[in-house]
Structure 1
């Protein structure tokens, strides 16, 4: 009695763009077939700041090879990319090539019956290429894409794109460590260069003239 797979296979939609039919390929090991096709990109095909627009054309160059365990698929995907620069937020539009290779095992063989959960299987001679394509493209995309390697980004003070700014573009920003001292300086009273007219008590200022005159007159009268 053949060993049953622990996880029943879900039915694949033969009309899905990335579900491919391998019936034209013989099970004889060494048999191979090449195919070139264009398919629309699925949704959410990318990372936060860069990805393939949904519905955009993906060009696939594929080779199907029959092996003992199943069908070995080798291919190259040519995808268009849209996104924005992580530094200056300018739009990015480019193309990307991703190579991949994956074995789809036959479910009625010993290898297919004991396949791990992360292994891919054929179902009624159909293979679903979408998870393979996602791994090949999405995992290779940079999380912080740049419009160019030396992109200077945006000015942190005014937000202007530094690549378009003048070479001497800068802002005079006070050191926050001196903010408290600047506050004390602004609150201090204005300085007065003129000396005080009233000397402090016990100071060395001149005595009042009438006091000295009175003392001299008292001595003469005596």
Structure 2
């Protein structure tokens, strides 16, 4: 026996990493097929959701979406699968219900980049002024003078234009 379900659910807090994730309350769309098999219920399909975050190099906002495949067996109580596996190896049915939240959360979080980028070519920020390299003119740089030479530069500044006196 097989059934198809298409549902949208609001995202809880736990669907994000440090720099990117599914915002709380945004809709996660599930499109799954549920099959009754010998040892339990097999759930297979997709979960999709919008993503927001910030680039790990330049901190610009990122908006994207993600779609992941999910497949999970939920073992019937007292089935051979339930008796032969550890509690954390296979999901279990509880009162003839399946809890898809952990399955969807794990699949979504594993698909997210740990260091999201606004573009593959993002160069990040200038370490001196903090501006985005993409917005700076070519050849942008900051002149740094060794403090040991600063006093000499002070004494000689402005003397290049003056002719030497004898």
Give me the TM-score of the superposition, normalised by structure 1: 0.65
State which of 52, 65, 75 in structure 1 corresponds to 2:22: 52
Please tell me whether residue 145 in structure 1 is matched to residue 116 in structure 2: yes
Structure whose residues are more often strand by fraction: 2
State which of 38, 54, 58 in structure 1 corresponds to 2:8: 38
CA apart distance, 1:78: 1.0
CA apart distance, 1:159: 0.4
Q: State the secondary structure of the residue aligned to 1:139.
A: helix
After the TM superposition, list the runs of 4 or more consecutive aligned residues in structure 1 that deviate by more than 3 angstroms.
Answer: 183-188
State which of 168, 182, 188 in structure 1 corresponds to 2:139: 168
The equivalent residue for 1:120 is 91
* Structure of higher CA gyration radius: 1
| Contact 2:14–2:105 under 8 Å retained in 1 | no
Structure 2 vs 1, CA of residues 51 and 67 (structure 1 numbering), >3 Å: closer, same or farther?
Answer: same
- Post-superposition Cα deviations, 1:119-157, rounded to whole Å, max 9, x if no partner, equal 210011100101101111001111110000000111110
Q: State the secondary structure of the residue aligned to 1:132.
A: helix
| Contact 2:32–2:44 under 8 Å retained in 1 | yes
Structure 2 unaligned blocks of 5 or more: 156-164
RMSD (CA atoms): 1.9
State which of 107, 115, 119 in structure 2 corresponds to 1:136: 107
Q: State the secondary structure of the residue aligned to 1:126.
A: coil
Give me the TM-score of the superposition, normalised by structure 2: 0.86
State which of 50, 66, 74 in structure 2 corresponds to 1:96: 66
Trace 1:1-222 onto structure 2 (pairs within 5 A): 31-118=1-88, 119-174=90-145, 179-180=147-148, 182=149, 185=152
Aligned length in residues: 156
